[in-house]
Structure 1
């Protein structure tokens, strides 16, 4: 499996995520954790709470179409994992998000910016687990 080195695309994506997180905190006083936003959209407290969450989720889904409007083609998506393991991985991530009280965007982007000790521990755990998983999959399993 080859990984492309895309520093400018990665930097621009990171800047946009950071800007969105800052704007959400500034305008709504809310942390931009994607799983918490999705959960709140599925089980809202009130109409106002539901509306901003759905608008943010729609914005996330529209991202590829904005890219299309600028570049003239949709971004290439090449998932080299069969559907079964992909669904299992999604389930495992969901369990981890529940046990960790948040996801990488909530802890890694927003929590670290707030110097939250819990987010520092969670993000360190995410990074360590990711490194071990990549090593096992690429170097031990040979995938």
Structure 2
């Protein structure tokens, strides 16, 4: 079996297109406004509207939450447009159990908070602006992902 087919059973072109769109969008945001569009800060600043805990009420979140909420809504709208245009409105599903999605989401959120950012902030914005801490963060993210994926694959086999 062709290894490219087994890694990308639905093809690789839409991944390339998605990556180019994400990179262009983040670059356009930075060039036009000087703003950096990392998603973990978008998430925290959006929660600052409803959660009164001191962490979410930091000025770095409350001062930027309006544009970050618009940014998040644009990502959701972009996903909807992709779904209509490229998936033709077909139902999307996964065979991953809900409990694994929740546990994975918890660890991703915890890691983003621990790493002071997520893969979009460090991997796209940080590496794009040649920040050394972002390179270290991305190498850590990727190493952890490789180890985790291999452990889970062996555990499930």
TM-score band, normalised by the shorter chain?
0.7 to 0.9
**Structure 2 partner of 1:29:** 34
Partner of 1:56: 71
Deviates more, 1:126-135 or 1:50-59: 50-59
2:96 corresponds to 1:78: no
Instruction: Provide runs of 4+ in structure 1 moved above 4 Å.
Output: none
Contact between 2:45 and 2:65, CA under 8 Å: does it hold in 1?
yes
Question: How many pairs are equivalent?
Answer: 139
Deviation of 1:89 after TM superposition, in Å, equals: 1.2
Q: Among 44, 62, 66, which residue is 1:45 paired with?
A: 62
Q: Distance in 2 between matches of 1:50 and 1:102?
A: 16
Is 1:17 the counterpart of 2:31 in the alignment?
no
How much has 1:3 moved relative to structure 2? Answer: 4.5
How far the C-alpha of 1:88 sits from its partner, in A, is: 1.3
TM, length-normalised to structure 2: 0.78
RMSD between aligned residues: 2.0
Query: 2:125 maps to what in 1?
Result: 110
> Any idea what SS the aligned residue of 1:141 has?
helix
CA distance in 2: counterparts of 1:75 and 1:125, whole angstroms: 35
- Specify every segment of 5 or more residues in structure 2 that has no aligned partner in the other structure, as ranges: 1-5, 49-60
Which segments of 5 or more consecutive residues in structure 1 lack a partner in the other structure? none
Q: Is the 8 A contact 1:67 1:75 kept in 2?
A: no
Deviation at 1:71, TM superposition (A): 4.1
Q: How many Å apart are 1:108 and its aligned residue?
A: 0.5
Within the alignment, does 1:7 sit opposite 2:12 as a pair? yes
Secondary structure of 2:96's partner? coil
Shift of 1:27: 2.3
Distance 1:131-1:26 versus aligned 2 partners, 3 A rule: same
